[in-house]
Each structure stands twice: as C-alpha cells, then as structure tokens.
C-alpha cells in the first residue's frame, strides 16, 4: 500500500470499523435514524485516520465522535467486540426484540426491558407484563397495525372524515398529508390535517375537533383513542375502521389541528418524508434560521447549551411555496419529497 489514501486492509481501525458497521446495520433494522447517522459519521471519520484509535480520549478528540461513541470505540479495541451488539444480535433475543418493537407505540427501550424480563412472546406480555392500555391495544391489533393501507382505502377513510367535518362546519378543510400526499400507493396510517380560514391558533379548532371525534365515534368510524390533545395540544391519535367492512382492519389515524396562518409550515412538516424534513431543517439552521411545524423563524436566541430562549422573528408560515422560496430551495412537489 502507499499514497495518502488509507485502504481498508491497511487501516489500523479496520476491526473497529467492522463492528461499528454491524451496529449501524442493526440500527437500520431497528429504525433508529439518529444512531444510524451517528455511526455512519463515526465510521467515515475512522476511515480517514492513519493511526489506531485505541482510547476514549483519542476517539473523543476526533470530529463527529461524541462521548458514547468514544466509549464504544475503546470497548471494541479492548474486547475485540461489543457487548451490546453481541447481546442484540448473537442470540434469539434479537428476534424477540424485533417482535416487541413491532407493537405499535413500543420503542427499543421498552422492548429491551421486556426481553430482559424474560418475555418471549406476545402471549407472555399479555398475561405477565404490566401493560399500558395503549400497549395492550397495540398487541391486540398487532397484525392490523403492521398491515399497510391501500391508497384507495385511505381515500375512502378520508372521505368519511371530510363528510363528517363538512356537516359540522363547512368552512373546515380536511387535507390528508403524510405518505398519501406524497402519492404513495399505500400508507402506514392516515394523517388528517384540519384547518379553517381566519384561524391563527390551533386552540380555536379544539371545539370543532371534540365535536368531530364524538360524531365519528358515535358512527363507529373511530374505534379507539390513543392520545388526546392536552391543553395546548393540537394532535389526536387513534384508530378507525372502514364502514361496512365485514371483518374490518383497524387503521391508525391522526388528526392535526392547523390554524390557517401556519398551514404552509404544517404542510411541509406533515408531508415529510422524515428524511426530507431533517434535511430542510438542517438547511434552515445553516442559515441561522429555524423551521418547525409552525413556521420559519430568524433571530432565534439561544442560551448556554444551545437552549432556545425565544421563538425568533417569523419569516413565513402560511404558504408552503413561500417557505421554499425564502429558503432559496426550488419548489418540490410532495411526490418528490422522498429522500
Ligand atoms: N414526521 C417527521 N419525523 C418523525 C415523524 C414524522 O418529520 N419522526 C413527519 C413526516 C411524516 C409525517 O410527519 O411524513 C407523518 O408521519 P408518519 O409517521 O405518519 O409518516 P408517513 O405518513 O410519512 O409514512 P406512513 O405511510 O408510514 O404513515
Ligand atoms: Mg402517515
Ligand atoms: Mn401519522
């Protein structure tokens, strides 16, 4: 070998990279985007090193490598492996972990707890674990919630919501966002944005939401509530079924209250996809601005530890296209917001 490049064989960190790569693959499986990205960056950094990185301090001195990753790198060098990875991947626990993580609303931490408590099946959880109401519901409808919703069914479910909304208040507009708005042929859930002309806060729509929920519950369209908005909240999560189906599949549905003044920012956020959102937010923060589901802001004041002190000055929030224009990003129709 020679030259300035570090070939994989000659890289003194080859074994560390190999283990970190397995971890990264594992986090792809568990849909942990943040860790995936952190591991990828760390691998890139290690690839560029010509010396072996053996200690916590050496690792921490490198760009893109933080506290936790530095500890892992030291552990890999010391033990030639990684306990957590071995725990996760080298035995049947890994499959149990996958099983539990596929329960709606259950993340890796909860799934791990159950695995460590020795639970192996959904039946085990039902009869022996302490479950919240939502976890129980997620287990009871395990297969339903893993079943994608065909586009035609999303349209039909959306039409039920639109009809009920129109009967209560003809000025309210129902927009289906999420993967449906991106043109997907099937969706994981239904993301319903509810908006109305001349509104400037989501609280103004809370009364309407309560009426809509009552009406759709009475008509047996809504079959469960998973989370209801808190005092300042604007989201309702629950389940619905297609009317008239003989053996209906429970579908996840979200209602999101959006005042007209924030419709553009909310449309960007709730259209996604999540990777597109992350990249457009990053682009905003590189300009020193901040984009969230309520608007695009400048002069966001931050205190120690980058803690946000003020929301900043609003640049734009009502119009989706104007937000793209303000950011200097060419307009991208929803179908092209797939990263
Ligand atoms: N969203 C996000 N980051 C998250 C979760 C959601 O930016 N961590 C945004 C982008 C999503 C939108 O909210 O498009 C709706 O979230 P969903 O989880 O419903 O995702 P999708 O509708 O995109 O896909 P699916 O078909 O799985 O519902
Ligand atoms: Mg969705
Ligand atoms: Mn959703």
274-288 tens-digit pLDDT: 889 989 999 999 999
**How much distance in Å is there from the Cα of 125 to the middle of ligand 2?**
27
- pLDDT higher than threshold 50 for residue 1: no
| % the chain with pLDDT above 70 | 94
- Locate the ligand 1 atom nearest the alpha carbon of residue 277 and give its number: 7
Mind listing the pLDDT tens digit for each residue in 14-48? 999 999 998 888 888 777 888 899 999 999 999 99
pTM for the structure as a whole? 0.76
Counting ligands in written order, the one closest to the CA of 148 is 1
Q: In what order do the strands lie in the sheet with 190-196?
A: 173-176, 190-196, 251-259, 235-240, 222-227
Mind listing the pLDDT tens digit for each residue in 260-311? 999 999 999 999 998 899 899 999 999 999 999 999 999 877 777 777 777 7
Which residues are within 8 A (CB) of 197 and not within 5 positions of it... i.e. 6 or more apart? 171, 260
ω into 125 cis (within 30 of 0): no
Nearest CA to ligand 1 atom 28: 188
β-bridge pairing 190-196 and 173-176: antiparallel
Report the Cα 209 to chain-centroid distance in Å.
24
- Locate the ligand 1 atom nearest the alpha carbon of residue 191 and give its number: 19
Nearest CA to ligand 1 atom 10: 272
Nearest CA to ligand 1 atom 3: 274
Q: Where are the alpha helices (DSSP H) in the chain?
A: 14-29, 33-47, 56-60, 67-79, 83-89, 93-101, 108-116, 122-128, 133-140, 142-146, 151-168, 178-181, 206-218, 263-271, 274-286, 320-327
Rounded mean pLDDT of 125-134? 96
**Is the minimum distance from the CB of 334 to ligand 1 under 6 angstroms?**
no
Nearest CA to ligand 1 atom 15: 178
Given the residues 22, 31, 52, 72, select the one marked as catalytic: 72
- Locate the ligand 1 atom nearest the alpha carbon of residue 271 and give its number: 14
* Complex ipTM: 0.98
**How much distance in Å is there from the Cα of 10 to the middle of ligand 2?**
46
CB 217 within 8 A of CB 228: no
**How much distance in Å is there from the Cα of 180 to the middle of ligand 2?**
7
Q: What is the mean pLDDT of the chain?
A: 91
Rounded mean pLDDT of 197-220? 97
Task: Tell me 101's DSSP state.
Answer: H
125: which 2 tokens? Answer: 């959880």
**Is the minimum distance from the CB of 189 to ligand 1 under 6 angstroms?**
yes
Q: What is the best residue among 253, 270, 292, 293 to mutate for testing ligand 1's pocket, by most ligand atoms within 8 Å of CB? A: 270
Could you tell me which of 35, 94, 44 has the C-alpha nearest to residue 69? Answer: 35
User: Is 72 tagged catalytic?
Assistant: yes
**How much distance in Å is there from the Cα of 239 to the middle of ligand 2?**
13
């Amino acid at each position: 070998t020679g030259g300035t490049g570090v070939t994989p064989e000659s890289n003194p960190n080859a074994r560390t990279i190999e283990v970190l790569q397995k971890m990264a693959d594992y986090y792809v499986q568990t849909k942990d985007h943040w860790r995936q990205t952190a591991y990828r960056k760390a691998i890139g950094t290690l690839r560029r090193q010509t010396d072996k990185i053996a200690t916590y301090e050496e690792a921490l001195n490198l760009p893109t490598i933080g506290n936790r990753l530095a500890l892992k790198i030291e552990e890999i060098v010391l033990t030639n492996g990684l306990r957590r990875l071995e725990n996760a991947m080298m035995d049947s626990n890994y499959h149990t972990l996958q099983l539990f993580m596929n329960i709606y609303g259950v993340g890796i931490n909860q799934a791990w707890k159950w695995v460590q408590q020795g639970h192996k099946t959904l039946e085990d959880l039902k009869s022996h674990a302490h479950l919240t109401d939502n976890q129980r519901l997620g287990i009871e409808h395990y297969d339903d919630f893993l079943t994608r919703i065909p586009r035609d069914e999303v349209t039909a479910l959306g039409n039920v919501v639109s009809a009920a909304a129109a009967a209560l208040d003809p000025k309210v507009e129902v927009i289906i966002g999420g993967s449906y708005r991106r043109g997907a042929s099937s969706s994981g859930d239904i993301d319903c944005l509810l908006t109305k002309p001349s509104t400037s806060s989501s609280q103004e729509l809370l009364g309407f939401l309560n009426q809509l929920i009552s009406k759709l519950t009475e008509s047996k369209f809504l079959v469960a509530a998973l989370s209801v908005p808190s005092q300042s909240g604007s989201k309702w999560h629950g389940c619905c079924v297609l009317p008239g189906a003989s053996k209906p599949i429970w579908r996840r549905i979200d209602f999101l209250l959006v005042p007209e003044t924030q419709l553009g920012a909310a449309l960007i956020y709730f259209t996604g996809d999540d990777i597109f959102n992350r990249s457009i937010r990053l682009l905003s923060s590189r300009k020193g601005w901040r984009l969230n589901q309520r608007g695009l802001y400048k002069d966001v004041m931050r205190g120690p530890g980058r803690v946000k002190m003020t929301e900043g000055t609003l640049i734009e929030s009502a119009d989706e296209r104007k937000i793209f224009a303000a950011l200097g990003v060419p307009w991208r129709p929803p179908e092209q917001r797939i990263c």
